[in-house]
A and B are shown apart, each in its own frame.
Chain A
């Protein structure tokens, strides 16, 4: 297992490095069209060949990872914050606060998020940059993704509020922010971290889904989602296996997150035991 973890960490570090230094590693801009070389195979100039419009696939993969792997953690942070806020308050106060929070959670869970995203995309101003558009998409994902996590946090907070050490803290005069800061948050950290790590691959895939529907990142900006759209041409895939690389990267990165997440949860269980 240790080897797998090391590999996972190495993959994530490599990915982070590639994303950070995309400007240096990419042989051309992600939007540059080499019109004499559309659908070219791998070569020294274009390690992964070119896409239908003659754009360098390797450059698009690097910049696509930058978009997806930067914004997905930010959206995950937002969703974890909201989950912690709503779930934590519900668990801490209980009573009508908890009932109202659960109503809100049920409401958010019942929203058909795909249609909401399509609608929001449709009402956004048309003249916004692709970068702004993709940021809005991830913010929306972050704003919509917290509800299920909030339930977990609420349940954890309620358990904590019934625990002996919290009773003792309260008997000692701890209340409000001090109780939350010193006792609740440290004990909810594991659950919050788990929600954060789970959310990252979920948002990457969600953006990929929007991309598959043609509603993700605007051209010419690439993302893992827009790169995955090319795989819709199942019939034309077989002779060009290098086109599967974005999918492979996505699977490897998500799997690496998963390995680290599992390790984190195991560690936590060991500590508790």
Chain B
């Protein structure tokens, strides 16, 4: 009983202490320093401790942030134009349809510890990245066929990399490859990016200092970055993060929830809606043949008419308006409309049409008896939707879908599970009926989705690890995905990917619900910010950011 009481007190108090936890008053020390030296210190929060500082092993968002801020890359994808821009490489040439790439590198560059940079470092990094023993997910994107990668240092400033098979979207993939030093005693801590990790307190903060050897200069010839340092506080609670933002203790929030966005917006605090993001939220039915669910339910879930009827009975506009407070758009399919390069503009969101939904169900022998939908055998149509506990947007969407589907006689039970249990059901026991989850699509290229769409893949969620495609349309998707990955012709790739989007739209193995907007908060003290819908939304141009705190006189 004591245990219960103690825990009860702790959690109840948790809500209230959230109000009080955020430390300290607005930074007066910062005001005193204002604008006197350099570009100031930029502060924002990470949701968790970075799991690694090795840029080749990055998988989590916190490590990705550190890699972005510290790693020097050969090319960088501009988050506004979505074009590759030269960084460490001045130019490049792709040959043999994407099998080979030659980079010309900038001369006279140095790592943050003073070690010189050369083509040998690029070769070393690529060899490390593609070492199967490293299990690098960044490296997986380059694996297009059997065989080894070959690197050739042609001169100190020219390097050529050859892959066993053509790699689609090859240039843009180098946006995530931070070049390591082959010689530096500091190993991966020696960096070519704008900042280096100077101080770290586990579970609390990271301080990144300006790299004194950073190569980039502005138009006036001043060395970049403008900022002196970046402080990354580790803060899991978005409410506390928002309060600290209000107090001026942090300057950026990369992902703001719609509720916090509305609140900050009402308080006239600088928040911006950068438009639809590439993230998707989707509902899918379990179609695994060996799943421990009744056979008649498997028959429902594998019926295209059933899936499309459910899709048409969902009011996506309401989901966007109510759950995301208008900061989302009804989803069309696998690609967000914001991904202008790859979105199939011929597709439109599925309409909300209960009459059409019932018509489709009737085609499959379903009939409405009273307020209950029954299948041909008389089974009442009822299923459960699982989602991860604690994600309130998904829980709210499930609850709204529950009410929407009630209108066509379908009963839905909403079940929230802790993430590990959910994952176990999704990937091991397959003991679930329908699930709502989302994908964060960091890579805009269709190649980034190979693991989802190939039928033998682990992430082919509705029916993973198939020995051979279960349906003709899955076989066609397999063929198209492989064809686009092997092609060096961007026009053809777009055609293949458009067809995949069309099939997915027709078959709806994933019932795409909405595309969330990228909501960000940027303090007015941050200058030169250009928020983008693509990660990292607020600090993608960190080289050019400045923090100009108000002077004492302005404060008065």
Chain A residues with a Cβ under 8 A of chain B: 31, 33, 35, 38, 52-54, 109, 113-114, 118-119, 121-122, 126-130, 141, 145, 147-149, 198-199, 202-203, 205-206, 208-209, 212-215, 218-220, 228, 231-236, 239
Q: Tell me how far the C-beta of B424 lies from the nearest C-beta in chain A, rounded to whole angstroms.
A: 8
A-B contact sample (7 more), CB < 8 A, given A38-B322, A206-B7, A209-B12: A122-B417, A122-B421, A129-B413, A206-B4, A208-B11, A214-B389, A214-B395
Give the most central of B3, B260, B390, B403: most A CB within 10 Å: B3
**Complex interface: chain A residues within 8 A of B403 (CB):** 31, 33, 220
Contact between B396 and A145 (Cβ–Cβ < 8 Å)?
Answer: no
A246 to B2, CA, bound (A): 24
Q: Among A127, A149, A202, A232, which residue has its beta carbon within 8 angstroms of that of B5?
A: A202
CB of B402 closer than 8 Å to a CB of A: yes
Contact between A126 and B8 (Cβ–Cβ < 8 Å)?
Answer: no
7 contacts between A and B (CB under 8 A): A52-B396, A53-B400, A127-B382, A128-B413, A129-B413, A203-B4, A205-B4
**Complex interface: chain A residues within 8 A of B323 (CB):** 52-53
Contact between A233 and B239 (Cβ–Cβ < 8 Å)?
Answer: yes
Given contacts A113-B4, A122-B418, A209-B8, contact A233 B413 (CB under 8 A): no
Given contacts A129-B413, A202-B5, A232-B15, contact A35 B421 (CB under 8 A): no
**Complex interface: chain B residues within 8 A of A220 (CB):** 399, 402-403, 414
Q: Tell me how far the C-beta of A194 lies from the nearest C-beta in chain B, rounded to whole angstroms.
A: 11
Contact between B8 and A205 (Cβ–Cβ < 8 Å)?
Answer: yes
Residue of B nearest to A226 (CB): B395
**Complex interface: chain A residues within 8 A of B19 (CB):** 234
Give the most central of A33, A147, A209, A219: most B CB within 10 Å: A219
**Complex interface: chain A residues within 8 A of B384 (CB):** 126-127
**Complex interface: chain B residues within 8 A of A205 (CB):** 4-5, 8, 12
Residue of B nearest to A130 (CB): B413
Give the most central of B11, B242, B262, B432: most A CB within 10 Å: B11
**Complex interface: chain A residues within 8 A of B421 (CB):** 118-119, 122
A52 to B322, CA, bound (A): 7
Contact between A219 and B395 (Cβ–Cβ < 8 Å)?
Answer: yes
**Complex interface: chain A residues within 8 A of B82 (CB):** none
CB of B433 closer than 8 Å to a CB of A: yes
**Complex interface: chain A residues within 8 A of B398 (CB):** 219
**Complex interface: chain A residues within 8 A of B383 (CB):** 127
CB of B386 closer than 8 Å to a CB of A: yes
A53 to B514, CA, bound (A): 16
Q: Among A145, A218, A239, which residue has its beta carbon within 8 angstroms of that of B4?
A: A145
Residue of A nearest to B393 (CB): A52
Q: Tell me how far the C-beta of B140 lies from the nearest C-beta in chain A, rounded to whole angstroms.
A: 31
CB of B18 closer than 8 Å to a CB of A: yes
Contact between B12 and A208 (Cβ–Cβ < 8 Å)?
Answer: yes
Q: Which DSSP category, helix, strand, loop or mixed, fits chain B's interface?
A: helix
Contact between B432 and A126 (Cβ–Cβ < 8 Å)?
Answer: yes
Contact between A35 and B318 (Cβ–Cβ < 8 Å)?
Answer: yes
Q: Tell me how far the C-beta of A209 lies from the nearest C-beta in chain B, rounded to whole angstroms.
A: 4
Contact between A233 and B7 (Cβ–Cβ < 8 Å)?
Answer: no
A35 to B323, CA, bound (A): 10
Contact between A236 and B1 (Cβ–Cβ < 8 Å)?
Answer: no
Residue of A nearest to B382 (CB): A127
Chain B's interface size range is 35 or more
Contact between B8 and A202 (Cβ–Cβ < 8 Å)?
Answer: yes
Given contacts A126-B433, A145-B4, contact A53 B389 (CB under 8 A): no
Number of A-B residue pairs with CB-CB distance less than 8 Å in the complex they form: 122
Give the most central of A126, A145, A209: most B CB within 10 Å: A126
Given contacts A118-B418, A126-B384, A127-B382, contact A148 B263 (CB under 8 A): no
CB of B470 closer than 8 Å to a CB of A: no
Contact between A126 and B413 (Cβ–Cβ < 8 Å)?
Answer: yes
Q: Among B11, B266, B433, which residue has its beta carbon within 8 angstroms of that of A209?
A: B11
Residue of A nearest to B387 (CB): A214
A127 to B410, CA, bound (A): 13
A238 to B389, CA, bound (A): 26
Given contacts A33-B403, A234-B239, contact A145 B259 (CB under 8 A): no
Contact between A213 and B390 (Cβ–Cβ < 8 Å)?
Answer: yes
A198 to B416, CA, bound (A): 30
Q: Among B5, B8, B396, B413, which residue has its beta carbon within 8 angstroms of that of A218?
A: B413
Contact between A236 and B263 (Cβ–Cβ < 8 Å)?
Answer: yes
Q: Among B242, B382, B391, B400, which residue has its beta carbon within 8 angstroms of that of A33?
A: B400
> What 5 pairs across the A-B complex have the smallest Cβ distances?
A214-B389, A122-B421, A205-B8, A126-B384, A148-B1
CB of B415 closer than 8 Å to a CB of A: yes
Residue of B nearest to A198 (CB): B1
**Complex interface: chain A residues within 8 A of B395 (CB):** 214, 219
A183 to B547, CA, bound (A): 79
Q: Tell me how far the C-beta of B249 lies from the nearest C-beta in chain A, rounded to whole angstroms.
A: 14
Contact between A126 and B386 (Cβ–Cβ < 8 Å)?
Answer: yes
CB of B243 closer than 8 Å to a CB of A: yes
Binary contact readout B1-27 vs A (1 if CB under 8 angstroms, 0 otherwise): 111110110011011101100000000
A232 to B335, CA, bound (A): 33
Residue of A nearest to B18 (CB): A234
A126 to B431, CA, bound (A): 9
**Complex interface: chain A residues within 8 A of B431 (CB):** 126
**Complex interface: chain A residues within 8 A of B1 (CB):** 145, 147-149, 198-199, 202
A10 to B323, CA, bound (A): 39
**Complex interface: chain A residues within 8 A of B416 (CB):** 214-215, 218
A205 to B14, CA, bound (A): 13
Contact between A234 and B15 (Cβ–Cβ < 8 Å)?
Answer: yes
Chain B residues 1-58 with CB under 8 Å of chain A are: 1-5, 7-8, 11-12, 14-16, 18-19
Binary contact readout B372-391 vs A (1 if CB under 8 angstroms, 0 otherwise): 00000000001110100111
**Complex interface: chain B residues within 8 A of A148 (CB):** 1-3
Contact between A113 and B390 (Cβ–Cβ < 8 Å)?
Answer: no
Q: Among A127, A129, A218, A236, which residue has its beta carbon within 8 angstroms of that of B259?
A: A236
A233 to B239, CA, bound (A): 7
Q: Tell me how far the C-beta of B420 lies from the nearest C-beta in chain A, rounded to whole angstroms.
A: 8
A247 to B12, CA, bound (A): 10
Residue of B nearest to A115 (CB): B418
Residue of B nearest to A237 (CB): B19
A205 to B16, CA, bound (A): 15
Residue of A nearest to B266 (CB): A239
Residue of B nearest to A126 (CB): B384
**Complex interface: chain B residues within 8 A of A214 (CB):** 389-391, 395, 416
Given contacts A208-B8, A219-B399, A220-B402, contact A235 B322 (CB under 8 A): no
**Complex interface: chain A residues within 8 A of B391 (CB):** 214
Contact between B433 and A53 (Cβ–Cβ < 8 Å)?
Answer: no
Q: Tell me how far the C-beta of A56 lies from the nearest C-beta in chain B, rounded to whole angstroms.
A: 14
Binary contact readout B192-204 vs A (1 if CB under 8 angstroms, 0 otherwise): 0000000000000
A127 to B297, CA, bound (A): 12
Q: Tell me how far the C-beta of B241 lies from the nearest C-beta in chain A, rounded to whole angstroms.
A: 10
Chain B residues 236-269 with CB under 8 Å of chain A are: 239, 242-243, 259-260, 262-263, 266
Q: Among B15, B243, B262, which residue has its beta carbon within 8 angstroms of that of A228?
A: B15
A147 to B260, CA, bound (A): 43
